[in-house]
Structure 1
Amino acid sequence: MIRTAAVVAAAVWSTMALALFLWRIEPLLPARGGSTCFAADYSPARPVDLSSPRRDHRSIGEVSSTRLAIHFLPGEHPFRSGTPGLDYDWRYVLKLEARLVNGELLTSEAFCNRSDTFGDRIMPALFCDIDCDGGTITLWRNIGRSGLTARFEAGERLRTGGSCGEGRPLYIGADQEARSLPADAAPQQTCAE
């Protein structure tokens, strides 16, 4: 009886460890000075919410394809401010491109910070944002696959076209319900086009 319980406990522990290993996002992130690319074409198109900065104009868009490029710039160094939540060990740049069914291309760039903590190392997600209230998005690892899902939780969105004070007055994201854009690993030239 004790031996059976020990075998079951070992099996459960091994399964959980394997699941955590397969779900970590870290293996999909680029090395310093490198980039990774993820892309997808959607049929049927995937809905996203489009809105103005103050959300006074809203509409639904349909995304026919997406590309996610993650860059780790060679000159990036850890940042320590002394303020919890602002420090990071690695900073990645996310470039999101979403092509709508009407042919319009929406682009956005966000920063994604990670720390050298146990929690971040096993975390299946990368949290990205744009300064100056440009919005947020979360990249989740597709468990056991070489793919990511760019997910907007209800209320999350990203400004398109530029950084602080720049860009178009159009945000892509999710108003009432989460919106997801899954993408699989792709050759680097797919994101360079």
Structure 2
Amino acid sequence: MTDAQPHVFGPLDFQLVLLRRMADHQPELVDDARRELGVSIAEMREANRRWQAMTRSPRSRGAAARYRSVLGEPETVAPRKVGDLECEARLWPVPLWPTLRFEVLAGPDGTVWNEWLVRAPGEPGPALQTAADLRPWSCTVDEAARAFPPARPMEGSAPTRWQLELTVPGGEKRVAEFSWGLLQRLLG
């Protein structure tokens, strides 16, 4: 008789965590993605439960170490300047979204400042010209902000959510809502 090996939380599980938060706004897209990954709703919920337990455990590693243990070594590590502050951008591939990367910005002491999906270096972003181009999962926070200035960051409705007030052609202000940095919906 052999002992069953414990399930190691890895990149597939992490993608399920991303999807779990997105399911609040885009359940059909999440169901399609979940099926593409070959997992059940119960498996997605279990991955999210395990992630939450890892992040809230009193013995939890810091966020930077947690991402490295779950996702492996970053594909890219590069210095980045945010205003006057210097940090390190760590990027990992996300197979579900091959043209995106999961980016973790870490300060000089290793503290994670931000974590979200961004366009992979060298990948062309979407053509965003009208509000109709802002479809779910079509763009990242940065891409929307550049396409529809002036853009004003706003507080999101939950952790890992961001809102951005955009100025669409004609001068109308609209609010775009993002989860893990990926557009979920355009409000108003």
> What TM-score does the superposition give when structure 1 sets the normalisation length?
0.30
Structure with greater helix percent: 2
- In our comparison, the structure showing a higher alpha carbon Rg is 1
Q: Judging by fraction of residues, say which structure has more strand.
A: 1
